[in-house]
Structures are given as structure tokens and as C-alpha cells.
Structure 1
């Protein structure tokens, strides 16, 4: 019988010590898509640097025996933020009238999928936040729709669509209350 290593979750508010770990995990998580411009490691690095300098940036990394196995990060968005401006139809004011956390990325190395690590990263990140709502964007085709369904099982609801850049696919914008635990998946 083998035992699964203990996973340690660490929260960070700057990229200083974790940028390399984030990029390494991202490259493995998105390996099948890295040939597409929006998913290239350089494009991710540019987004990561921009997000890391935005208000309220927080990242949570999961480490197994000091090896990074997953991450989640986000930042605060306010009413009128370009995130909301790109969402169509215009989201309900319950989501936009107060600061929200935008979950910008979440990823778990393939060998660690199905272990609950993604959900624990998500919940650990939200536990650091005071915003009443969390929002994210997901490619509805990711995992043949399984990723979208997973977020629904976590309590998210579809609130609109967005195409953040010309190279990006059209994404589903989802939101939920930060305290909504949903169901485990």
C-alpha cells in the first residue's frame, strides 16, 4: 500500500518567490494547448505578471514534499473593471456592485488530478478573501465540458460570456458567493 504525500497549501501576495513554480506547473497543466497563442507559456507569463500587479493579488500553491503540484490565483475586481465590461450580457448588479475576487487561474498537475487538490486550492484561496462574490471564466469545451460541470458542482452559475483577448476562445463567465461551499468533487 502506498501513501499519498501530505499536501501543504501556502498563500502568497507577491510573485517574488513563486513565479517559477507557477510557470512550471502551468506548462505541465496546459501542455496539450501550449501551441495555441493564448495558452503559450510566454502569454501566460505576461498575464501572470499583469495579474500579480493588480489589486488584491493572492496565489495559493499546493506542495507535495516541497514539489509544486497545483496553484490557484486571483485578484480583486471592482465595479466598472474591464473584466465586467467584457462580460455579455451585463452581469447582475449583485455581482458587480461590490468588489469581487476574480479567480484568474487554477491548475493541478495531471498526476494529482482526482485527489481533491483543485477544490482544496480553490477553498484555501477563498478563505483568504473578504469579497462577497467570486467569479471565473472557463472554456466550456475544456475537458469535453467536464471542467464547466465541475465548477457548477462547486456552486458556480453561468452569468455571461467573455472573450478577454482576440487569441482567447469565448469563455463562460461564472460566479457564486465566496461562502457557498457547493458540493465536493
Structure 2
């Protein structure tokens, strides 16, 4: 692909309506890492099921000709949420006094990368949120640091670190204002 594809963005609050498409895109996005327990499709399925049952769940998927090519999903987190509890150092009350939205996953199939699809999905996800802050976690080694730098270019700043599970790498927690 040499030009921006004709993408349709669809938003979902019911995981059942989109779970299959999420798993399908995830499997291709994370293909090089699927041999690692934390990145296995079954592990992702367990995580997405847990997140989909939490308050404020939303997924935005990008479709080209009815075929899912990218996604972002997340949910609302409150002060005391395990997301904040696992962070080092503990986040400032500035970020936890009100609910925030945690962008739990974002991914774009390889053939659609570099065309702005991730940014469009991200922005559509945040556009319908009313939380004052959005947070995400990134593996600082992903893409030799390029993914971290991309999030910085979208206005995210480093807040701390987290290791969500024993099988997970140590991740950088980032945050930005949604307004």
C-alpha cells in the first residue's frame, strides 16, 4: 500500500460483538511474539475478557472493505485500581483523583502500518471518552524504542513503570491529557 487506505472506524462497548475481530488482528500484530506465554493468543483472550467486563470498556476497530486491520481498546480506571497499584512509583493524586481511561491495547496489521491507522484508531477511541487523562503501558524495547517515541509524539509522557504479571516485561507507564 502506498497511500492512506479507505478506513471505516467502528466503536463497540460490547466485547461479544467484536471479540473475534480483536483476536484475529492481535494474532497477526503479535505474530513474532506468540511463542512467549504473555503474548499467546489465549493469554490475550483472557486479558480482553477481563477488561471487557470492567467499567467503561470500549473498543475501536479499523476496517478496510469489511476486514479488521487495527484496533484500540481500554476501559475506565479509578483510584485504587490494580493498574495504579502495580505502578512504581505510585502515581500522583493529580492523575488518580478522577477516573482515567487506560488504553490497554493498540495494534495495526503490518500491511497497514505507517499509514496513520493507529493514530486514527487512537484518536477515535479518545474522542468519545470523558476522563481527563489517558494512560497506557509500552514495552520500551518495542520496535527498538520507536513505539515509545510514537506515543511521545502523540503527547504521552513517562509516568513510571509496571510489570502487570510475572510473565510480562517491565513496561513504561505513560499518560496524557484527553482535553
TM-score, normalization by structure 1: 0.94
**Which position in structure 2 is the counterpart of 1:63?**
63
**Which position in structure 1 is the counterpart of 2:10?**
10
Report the Cα distance in structure 2 between the residues aligned to 1:107 and 1:55, rounded to whole angstroms: 22
Contact 2:3 2:115 in 1 (8 A): no
Contact 2:4 2:115 in 1 (8 A): no
Contact 1:5 1:65 in 2 (8 A): no
Residues 20, 39 of structure 1: alpha-carbon distance in 2 compared, 3 angstrom cutoff = same
Contact 2:163 2:170 in 1 (8 A): yes
**Which position in structure 2 is the counterpart of 1:144?**
144
Report the Cα distance in structure 2 between the residues aligned to 1:9 and 1:93, rounded to whole angstroms: 34
Residues 3, 148 of structure 1: alpha-carbon distance in 2 compared, 3 angstrom cutoff = closer
Report the Cα distance in structure 2 between the residues aligned to 1:16 and 1:177, rounded to whole angstroms: 30
CA-CA distance at 1:5 after TM superposition: 4.0
Question: Deviation digits for residues 101-127 of structure 1, max 9, x if unmatched?
Answer: 000000000000000000000000001
Structure 2 regions of 5+ residues with no counterpart? none
CA-CA distance at 1:4 after TM superposition: 5.0
Report the Cα distance in structure 2 between the residues aligned to 1:40 and 1:5, rounded to whole angstroms: 29
Number of aligned positions between the proteins: 179
Provide the aligned C-alpha RMSD in A.
1.3
CA-CA distance at 1:92 after TM superposition: 1.5
Report the Cα distance in structure 1 between the residues aligned to 2:2 and 2:153, rounded to whole angstroms: 30
CA-CA distance at 1:17 after TM superposition: 1.6
Question: Deviation digits for residues 119-148 of structure 1, max 9, x if unmatched?
Answer: 000000001100000000000000000000
Within a 5 Å distance, the mapping from 1:36-185 to structure 2 comes to: 36-179=36-179
CA-CA distance at 1:15 after TM superposition: 1.1
